[in-house]
Structure 1
Amino acid sequence: MATVDLSALDPAADPLPVLRELLAPLGEAVEAERLTGGMFATTFRVTLADGERVIVKTAPTSTDRLLTYEADLIRTEALVYGLAADRPDLLMPRVLHTDFTRQIVASDVVVASHLPGTPLMSAGFGPSGEDPRTDRADRELGALMARLHTVIGDRFGYPNTATGLQGDTWVEAFGRIVEQLLADAAQWGTVVPDAEVRAALARHADALAQVDRPALLHTDLWPGNLFVDVETGELVGVIDTERAFWGDPLLELSGADQTGRGPVPTALLAGYAEAASAFDLDEPTTAARLLLYRMFYSLLLVVEIAPRGYVGDWLPQHRATAEANLRWALDELAALDAPANA
């Protein structure tokens, strides 16, 4: 069988022939359903002949529309799931199979166990403070973050060293990550306030320098990547670790609310404090770092629009929100005294 590009497969085409070949080490694939909702990977839920369901995930085959940090992201997902293999408290799938040969499918593939539960984004929970299921999910997410952050790496930055987005210090690594986003923006003709972003990093370098342990960060713990029990709000699963990197645990708070400005849910902070040292968000350098991370996510959301080729009625509002949040974060950072002068 010729190599197949699953990301470009016609929706009406039958993916089973290639999935059968890919999954032969695990069993016979008898049914496949393409999962929608993701903006990056192509994902199938596959049922094997013995009734087991597995998740097959593959990256885009074409790499000319990827941001720099997105190179070989599926390998990062497999790496993180592997790190969690002996940590059931991290609630992640098990890696069942990987194929990085690109001989059956034209890009990297990870096959993982199917998790129970319902995505939090579609669970129908009410607002925090009103629905106890929401408060439980937030509290357990905070505790999950704290457990994840006990996994410590050797260096800061993205696991894929080919990107060059690493450093021996958090100041160095985070600076490279942001600088590469600015370079990606320039490559795609996206106008961003790059001078202001660089100035904010320089002014608050001392705040970033307080981070001395490269903790494992999921970086994308939004409700679409969390599975819950719809009756109780219990957090039962976490997926999509392809954007993970080693860095400041505080960044995880922004990653869980990438289009927001705060405040961080009280229950989430309480859950984190039950399992680790509490975040003091009122402490000046901590507040500065959180604003830097809100700046980072807003910048990322703006920059990725062009290479992803986003279209749709939702796009103008999405762009406006990301740009407004970026402006807000920069203004808030400008209003702070630089930590070195405090």
Structure 2
Amino acid sequence: MTLADETPATTPDTDVPVDALRAVLAPLGTLAGVERLTGGMFATSYRVTLDDGTRVIVKTAPTATDALLTYEHDLVRSEAHVYRLAEQHPSLLMPRVLLTDFTRTHVPSDALVVSHLPGVPLVDAGFGTADDDPRTARAEHELGAYMARLHTAGLPAPDGGFGYPNPAAGLNAPTWRATFTAMVEAVLTDAPRWGVELPADEVRAALHRHGDVLDDVTAPTLVHTDLWAGNLFVDPATGGIVGVIDPERAFWGDPLHELVGADCHNVGPVNPRVLAGYASVVPGGIDVTSPSAQTRLALYRTFLTLILTTEIVPRSFAGDWLPGYRTTLAAALRTLLDSLA
């Protein structure tokens, strides 16, 4: 959409007034065109063209903070922090931070402006997850290699411990067991706020029963946590990964958790192509077969399933797909808890 001078302050394609976007972007240039991006379910994002032809992405945080889970507060600030850490590592393929506006004067929430990436989201690339397409094989192998590069980049935690970049959530601790326990407890505490019923006692019992395996994680590693196909930009002709976005939910923890966020409904074996890609960078790959690793995977999958189940209500999800989605999540949670029993 091209914006002329007579364009009204708010357009049908945007939730943020155009004049507010202009004000945020003024240090970079004059806004010439804006397009609301779809696909994200948390922040609101726009592709903006400046008057010199430069394209940038503007991301604004939700304004309804009462609809956020505990860990979701100030996620745009966390995203900016991770992007800045990644700037020294070009192989991590993340956008560059061009501007941040955390004053909440032009828009009522935090705003982040980053460089525009090449490629298209893997979810929109046209070949999807077709197992017989060589582009799928390449994308999955490169995803595993990307994970390994991220986990071995040595990006430091703000306080040297475990948890989220933003300490405001209170989900940080010196040990992974204490941190992950707090993360799970936060979701179990959040759910009743929206009338979401979770098997909280069963989850707590499983975490208590298997807490010792969390002590096997002794060094905090930056984990993106959300490397699904919507956050991976690929060359649609080859399947090669050319960009990665949305590390807003990243935390310092167990790198094994990366495999969960990239395949969020999987309760079975990890994708062998992803594992092979990981091993192409880190000799020996990542352990997914030891008793400790299998138990940790089940705990992390349980945690993510709790989040996915809880967020349905505050995000106001709706549609014909929703009953089936709820059924899928409930079945996955039952399988995981039975395995941890």
Alignment of 1:51-200 (within 5 A): 51-125=53-127, 127=129, 129-150=131-152, 151-153=155-157, 154-200=160-206
User: Quick one: structure 1 residues 175 and 47, their matched pair in 2 at CA, closer, same or farther if it must change by over 3 Å?
Assistant: same
Alignment of 1:216-231 (within 5 A): 216-231=222-237
In structure 1, distance between residues paired with 2:265 and 2:218: 27
- Residue type at the aligned position of 1:235: I
TM-score relative to the length of structure 2:
0.93
1:272/1:278 contact within 8 Å kept: yes
| Residues 245-254 or 148-157, more deviating | 148-157
Out of 318, 325, 331, the position equivalent to 1:324 is: 331
- Residue type at the aligned position of 2:137: D
1:156/1:214 contact within 8 Å kept: yes
**Corresponding position of 1:306:** 313
1:16/1:30 contact within 8 Å kept: no
Q: Alpha-carbon deviations, 1:53-109, whole Å to 9, x = none?
A: 000000111211111111011000100000001111001000000000001111000
User: Is residue 2:283 matched to residue 1:281?
Assistant: no
User: Quick one: structure 1 residues 228 and 76, their matched pair in 2 at CA, closer, same or farther if it must change by over 3 Å?
Assistant: same
- Residue type at the aligned position of 1:28: T
In structure 2, distance between residues paired with 1:319 and 1:95: 37
In structure 1, distance between residues paired with 2:228 and 2:330: 19
User: Quick one: structure 1 residues 198 and 9, their matched pair in 2 at CA, closer, same or farther if it must change by over 3 Å?
Assistant: farther
In structure 2, distance between residues paired with 1:12 and 1:47: 15
- Residue type at the aligned position of 1:292: L
1:166/1:173 contact within 8 Å kept: yes
- Residue type at the aligned position of 2:226: D
Deviation at 1:245, TM superposition (A): 0.7
| Residues 265-274 or 15-24, more deviating | 15-24
2:213/2:296 contact within 8 Å kept: yes
**Corresponding position of 1:5:** none
In structure 2, distance between residues paired with 1:14 and 1:132: 41
TM-score relative to the length of structure 1:
0.92
**Corresponding position of 2:30:** 28
- Residue type at the aligned position of 1:262: G
Deviation at 1:11, TM superposition (A): 3.8
Deviation at 1:120, TM superposition (A): 0.5
In structure 1, distance between residues paired with 2:224 and 2:110: 20
Deviation at 1:143, TM superposition (A): 0.9
Deviation at 1:282, TM superposition (A): 1.8
Alignment of 1:224-243 (within 5 A): 224-243=230-249
Q: Alpha-carbon deviations, 1:13-72, whole Å to 9, x = none?
A: 884322211101001110000001211111100001111100000011121111111101
| Residues 191-200 or 149-158, more deviating | 149-158
- Residue type at the aligned position of 2:305: S
Alignment of 1:240-259 (within 5 A): 240-259=246-265
Deviation at 1:123, TM superposition (A): 1.1
Out of 289, 296, 302, the position equivalent to 1:295 is: 302
- Residue type at the aligned position of 1:159: P
- Would you say how many aligned residue pairs link Structure 1 and Structure 2? 327
- Residue type at the aligned position of 2:166: N
In structure 1, distance between residues paired with 2:150 and 2:34: 32
1:128/1:265 contact within 8 Å kept: no
Q: Alpha-carbon deviations, 1:137-159, whole Å to 9, x = none?
A: 11111111111112242111111
Aligned to 1:305, what secondary structure does the other structure show?
A: coil
Percent sequence identity over aligned pairs: 59
1:15/1:32 contact within 8 Å kept: no
2:213/2:295 contact within 8 Å kept: yes
User: Quick one: structure 1 residues 192 and 323, their matched pair in 2 at CA, closer, same or farther if it must change by over 3 Å?
Assistant: same
Out of 19, 36, 39, the position equivalent to 1:37 is: 39
| Residues 187-196 or 145-154, more deviating | 145-154
Quote the RMSD (CA, aligned, Å): 1.6
